[in-house]
Amino acid sequence: MKLLFTLAVLSLVAIAMANAGRTATRYDNFKVYKVFIKNRLQLEEFKKIHHQIPVHFLNEIAGPGRSYDIVVAPGHQRAIEKLFDFLEIVFETVIEDLQKVLDMSAYSSGSDMDWDTYHELDVIYDWIDQQCDKHDFLDCDVIGHSHEGRAIKSVKLSKKGGNKAVFIEGNIHAMEWISSATVTYILNQLINSDDSKMQELSEKYDWIFVPMVNPDGFVYTHEVERLWRKNRRPSGYTNSSGDCYGIDMNRNFDYHWGGAGWNIDEPCDHWFGGDEPNTEVEIVALQKFVSSFDDGYIRSYMAFHAYGQYILLPYGHSNTEFPPNYDQMMRIAEAFADSAVEPYGSKFTYGASGLLNYVVSGAAKDWAYGEKKIPFTCTVELRDKGTYGFFLPSNQITEVGVEVTEGLKALIDKAEDEGIFD
């Protein structure tokens, strides 16, 4: 269906390369355009462009008055620019050669864990195992397995009884490498940092991490297709390119599932939310793990994503309905933004996701708030605001970690002041 056709064409024109036994799609001279849609007429034409010219949409299409990023192969760039000029749609090229940017974001294979480069799943998991072996205050487990049988690992940090907990999850979307990099950075700071504030937070609260919710998709982005978003379960549908794979797992939670969202009902699109909620073994495992703790123990649930520099609060399914303690959550999110900006000037916008970003149903933060009654939940959309987007160079990982850690310190302090941990 609509966007898998796009992926199929991109795959046909992309160049295959051998890389340590893997075959990876390349994007030499592919451009990333930022397209500015000013009104509904332009929006309707923009939605239809893939019927004329092969493009890869990188963002959900929400409405006019927004910008959207698309990837276009070299042979179609002149045509797309002419079409935009004809439609009087303003655009700019934000990436001239996507492959060069991807090379800047290259990962290190078989190396020790650090936060100067991106790492493959085995390196991340080996580091987690090493930390668990070294520290008796860590309780590590496999909470379930992915469709392809890979472990979904958890780490619980608890230094004393009676603490309330913060829950952090990462990389539910495969292509968002900065997510798991940041989540593991925070975990490392809580375990190993000499920073007195981080050690205070590690003593005063319990911390629960699931750094890699989508291991199958993550491995696929390393070995085959860097632009992949979903998990890797066959959806049961086909199109002209063959079988369709994957469910957007952040559209699959059973809270207002299927009510709103761009192409969540198109089985071959990037944002397909499944035929019904809770179809994905990864999501079921995550929900069972969260539900295994006593009610009232987890007081904050934070999901890390890319990109846009947002603190997105409930709800996602509506832009007119807000949680009862929305004003309280806004004050907590403001504390994060005020502190995160200090190290490098990165400005985070905060508010309900349905209001700030786009209306979409079935997200983790809404399930955690609406079903599990966790009083502060959010999605943290990390760097940047669209220069590199999903392809943030690895030399920014540590900076992202630093600014998010500063924001997190202030967020927890404010949440404590607001009574979230009572």
Backbone dihedral region of 372: left (phi > 0), alpha (psi from -120 to 50 degrees) or beta? Answer: alpha
Tokens of 249: 């797992």
**Are 285 and 144 in contact, with CB atoms under 8 Å apart?**
yes
Nearest to 74 by CA among 6, 126, 36, 27: 27
From the list 381, 403, 406, 418, the catalytic residue is 381
Question: Quick check: helix, strand or coil at residue 347?
Answer: coil
Nearest to 357 by CA among 314, 387, 400, 301: 314
Tokens of 88: 């009087």
The helix or strand, by DSSP H or E, that contains position 252, with its residue range, turns out to be: none
Give the separation between CA 371 and CA 368, rounded to whole angstroms. Answer: 6
First to last CA, the chain: 49
> Is 81 labeled as catalytic in the residue annotation?
no
Nearest to 182 by CA among 154, 211, 207: 211
What DSSP line would sit under 51-103, residue for residue? GTS--EE-S----SSEEEEEEE-GGGHHHHHHHHHHTT-EEEEEES-HHHHHH
Residues catalogued as catalytic: 381
